[in-house]
Amino acid sequence: MVAVNDVSFSALPGQVVGFLGPNGAGKSTTLRILAGLTLPSAGSATIGGLAYRDIPNPASQVGTLLDASAFHNGRTGRETLKLAAMTMDLPDSRVQQMLEVVGLTDQEAKRRIRNYSLGMRQRLGLAAALLGNPRVLLLDEPVNGLDPAGIHWMRGVLRHFADNGGTVLLSSHLLHEVEMIADHIVVIGQGRIMAQGSTEQLVGGPGTQVQAGDDAALGQALTAAGLVARTSTEGGLYVQAEPEQVGLIAAQHGLALKELRRAGSGRLEELYLQLTAGHDRGPIAPTTGGPR
């Protein structure tokens, strides 16, 4: 579906695909080219074989949320949806329905958008994206600005959408967000795809982030117990085991812990950190080749 510098991947119906990459990797540009807002310098971008411009009544087939701050601040939330509904020849009842789906109250919908928080803008943006009952969603950083409850809610909405045969492509630069929300991940960096696969595949087995008063002693204890532990990028240790197991070993050795929690992803996190740390924003190639 999307290619950056000659690399393409596909998103299938029923999937929530997370498009993960550091800032400046070209995620937003790629999505904007797909939606026809940015013209590629070379090549083309298609959805279902059609360029966005050639899709009839495109918003009724591809829902987009590319920039939650790109609303007219002087309009109310409801009016913004009403204009979109008029363009697509949809009844007003559809506007009301979508406001309910994204949990914007009548009071909130009557307010002008300049008074909206980022979270409310994201909800309004999702309502606009879903308005035309599309089968594909393109969402750029959709959970940006949402609190944990909001992220949980967004996951529910997108899961429901995908379970009904929809296809979701969303971008994020935060690994943990994508892990929570996507069931298929495409990692992009340096203008090409670094890894892709199901979230389970990429995230791998259980992992634990642990920090003790004496990390060295803990490391020895864990290694002695046959576990693989290494220095974590977040400080402390990253262990390929369940937190419970790590906690037990620490207790047996009388080591006091400062931190003990499940760490999302082993392989993927490592890969992503390599990708972001070494050449953060620097030599990462822009999407000059253009998506196909």
Partner 1 sequence: MTAPGVPNLIDPQVPGVRFGSLVRVESRKLTDSRGALGVLIALGVLLLIITITGMSNGTIAFDSALSALSATAANFLAIIAIMLVTAEWSQRSVVSTFTLEPRRERVVVAKALAALALGAVAFVVCLLLAWLISAVNGETMDHAGEALVSAALYIGFLVLMGFAFALLLLNTPGAIVAFFILPTLLVPLLVGLVSDQDSDAQTWVTPSMALDQFTPGTTSSGSPWLPLLVCALVWIVLPGALGAYRVQVSEVK
Q: Cβ closer to partner 1: 62 or 175?
A: 62
Q: What secondary structure letter does DSSP report for 52?
A: G
Site string for partner 1, 17-56 (x = CB under 8 A): ---------------x--xxxxx------xxxxx-xxxxx
Q: What is the DSSP string of 226-291?
A: T--EEE-TTSSEEESS-HHHHHHHHHHTTPPEEEEEE-S-SHHHHHHHHHHHHTSSSSPPPSTT--
For residue 136, the SS3 value is strand
Work out whether 272 is an interface residue with partner 1 (CB under 8 A): no
Question: Cβ 259 to partner 1, closest distance in Å?
Answer: 41
Near partner 1 in 50-89, by CB under 8 A:
50, 52-62, 64, 66-67, 69-75, 79-80, 83-84, 86-89
Q: Cβ closer to partner 1: 75 or 155?
A: 75
Closest CA to 110 of 89, 80, 65: 80
Question: Cβ 95 to partner 1, closest distance in Å?
Answer: 14
Question: Cβ 62 to partner 1, closest distance in Å?
Answer: 7
Q: Is 4 exposed, middle or buried (0-12, 13-18, 19+ CB in 10 A)?
A: buried
Q: How far is CA 127 from the centre of its chain?
A: 17
Near partner 1 in 232-271, by CB under 8 A:
none
Near partner 1 in 113-172, by CB under 8 A:
128, 135-136, 167
Long-range contacts of 47-52 (CB under 8 A, 24+ apart): 47/1, 47/136, 48/136
Which residue in the set 112, 155, 159, 292 belongs to the binding site for partner 1 (CB under 8 A)? 112
- Interface contacts to partner 1, rule CB under 8 A: 1, 10-13, 32, 35-39, 46-50, 52-62, 64, 66-67, 69-75, 79-80, 83-84, 86-89, 112, 128, 135-136, 167
